[in-house]
Copies of this chain bind each other. A is one copy, B any other.
Amino acid sequence: MQLDQAKQLRELESQLNAEYQAILAKKLNLDLTRGKPSSDQLDLSDALDGILKGNYIAADGTDTRNYGGLDGLPEAKKLGANIMGVEAANVLVGGSSSLTLMFQVALTAHLFGLKDAASAWKHEGDIAFLCPVPGYDRHFTICEQLGIKMINVPMTATGPDMDIVENLIKSDSKIKGIWCVPKYSNPTGVVYSNETVERIAKLGKIASPNFRVFWDNAYAVHDLIDNPPQLASILEATKKHNTEDSVIQFASTSKITQAGAGVAFVAASATNLAGFKKALSACTIGPDKVNQIRHTRFLPDRSALMAHMKKHAELLNPRFSAVLDALAKAFDGTDLGNWEKPVGGYFVSFDTRKNCAKETVRLAAEAGVKLTPAGATFPYGKDPDDRNIRIAPSVPTVPDVVAAMQVFVVCVKLASVRQDLAALG
Q: Interface residues, chain A, CB within 8 Å of chain B? A: 34, 36-37, 39, 42, 45-46, 49-54, 56, 63-69, 95-97, 99-100, 103-104, 107, 112, 138, 141-142, 144-145, 254, 258-261, 279, 281-291, 294
Contacts and interface: CB of A to CB of B under 8 A. Distances in A.
A66 to B, nearest CB: 5
Contacts of A64: 260-261
Given A36-B66, A45-B65, 16 more contacts: A36-B67, A42-B56, A49-B51, A49-B290, A65-B258, A65-B261, A67-B254, A67-B260, A69-B260, A100-B284, A112-B145, A141-B281, A141-B282, A145-B282, A260-B286, A261-B289
Contacts of A288: 95-96, 260-261, 288, 291
Contacts of A66: 36-37, 42, 258-260
Contacts of A53: 49-50
A290 B144 CA distance: 30
A223 B259 CA distance: 37
B49 A97 contact: no
The 10 closest A-B pairs by CB, nearest first: A50-B50, A103-B283, A145-B282, A261-B290, A65-B258, A42-B65, A261-B288, A49-B52, A96-B288, A67-B259
B69 A283 contact: no
Contacts of A138: 285
16 contacts: A45-B65, A49-B50, A49-B53, A49-B54, A50-B52, A65-B259, A65-B261, A67-B254, A96-B287, A103-B284, A107-B107, A144-B282, A145-B283, A260-B285, A260-B290, A261-B288
A309 B260 CA distance: 29
Chain A interface mostly: loop
A283 B65 contact: no
Contacts of A290: 49, 258, 260-261
Most buried by B among A42, A63, A69, A288: A288
B142 A283 contact: yes
B99 A96 contact: no
Contacts of A284: 97, 99-100, 103
B67 A283 contact: no
A276 to B, nearest CB: 13
B42 A46 contact: no
A100 B42 CA distance: 28
Contacts of A281: 141
B142 A103 contact: no
Given A103-B283, A285-B99, A289-B260, A42 B54 contact: no
A56 B37 CA distance: 15
A97 B67 CA distance: 10
A260 to B, nearest CB: 5
A67 B34 contact: yes
Nearest to A283: B103
A96 B97 contact: no
Given A65-B258, A283-B142, A285-B99, A46 B39 contact: no
